[in-house]
Amino acid sequence: MNERVIKSNKIRIGDISISYYIKKSKSEELNTVIFLHGFPFNKNMWRAQLNALPDHVTGIAVDIRGHGNSTSGHGFLSIDVFAKDLRVFIEKLAIPHVTLCGISMGGYIALRAYQLFPETINGLVLSDTHAKADTDAGKQKRFDSIQAVLKYGRRPFAIGFTENVFSPENIEEIPEAVELIKSSIRRNSLRTICATLLALAARTDTSEVLPSITVPTLILRGANDRITADKDMQDLANGIAGSRYTQIDNAAHLPNLENPERFNQLVNEFLTTII
């Protein structure tokens, strides 16, 4: 029996080393999906998705620059830098076309990537994310978070962040997922957390790219998400012709962890439509 296993690898990309998981397809088809995690997590949040992938799809989950086991390099972080890292990563692995599945910050990266190299992208899954830049209030909230993490450290930040991204009932019902997120946050350096908060505050609005997106696009949102508003996701869906928008019950900002069965079903059904 040819059992598909998740392998851990590293590859050099410019000034950094990128750590990633890969689960190779059983077939000769060149269908590949790259999973992009949110802030301030890492590739471990995607293990349930990698395990559930159809046999004809190769799955890759990357640690974004400075997160998980990927190094931070020169230390300048931005959504643009993350997207350009992704382009070189795809080129180094000689992948002709990819579907990008990004959650939260990963969705921002996916949209920027489509602006930069649309010819490489044959599908998008955008979860609990949107195309808008931070408002002034949103920027200030991130600046306040930087001050708090510098003053009190990662542990209180991890506890508070976790309470915001999970629905209250899931904090009780899926403690292993909650602990995964807490440990992911604590594993990041203070420098990475603060630099990424600045990157998120400084990101550009990508709404102008939405009408030019012609690839199949699936848009997902945890129905109880308190971070990404339904209105912002409706605007995202309305901006991308032919996109499909679905809300996932029993989930907040991290539906891939809170309701993985439904999330995987929707993503896998979508991946079968990618040529």
Q: Cα torsion at 28, 109, 170, 184 (round to 10°)?
A: 90
The domain spans of the chain are 7-133+205-271
Average pLDDT of the chain to the nearest whole number: 95
Closest-CA residue to 196 (of 36, 92, 81): 81
Quote the pLDDT of residue 2.
44
Tell me the per-residue pLDDT of 158-191, one tens digit each, with 9 for 90 and over.
999 999 999 999 999 999 999 999 999 999 999 9
Tell whether the model's pLDDT for residue 1 goes beyond 60. no
**CA 233 and chain centroid, separation:** 15
Look at residue 271 in the predicted model and tell me its pLDDT: 95
Q: Is 74 helix (H, G, I), strand (E, B) or coil?
A: coil
Q: Specify the pLDDT at position 27.
A: 77
Q: What is the pLDDT of residues 184-239, one digit of tens each?
A: 999 999 999 999 999 999 999 999 999 999 999 999 999 999 999 999 999 999 99
Tell me what percent of the residues of the chain surpass a pLDDT of 90: 92
DSSP, res 53: -
Task: With cut-offs at 50, 70 and 90, classify the pLDDT of residue 275.
Answer: low
Q: Mean pLDDT across the stretch 94-119?
A: 97
CA distances from 59 to 39, 45, 67, 156, 214 (A): 20, 13, 19, 33, 22
pTM: 0.96
> Among candidates 177, 189, 215, 254, which has minimal Cα distance to 99?
215
Overall average pLDDT of the 129-140 stretch? 96
Beta strand 7-13 with 16-23 is antiparallel
Q: Which CATH superfamily is domain 7-133+205-271 in?
A: Alpha/Beta hydrolase fold, catalytic domain (3.40.50.1820)
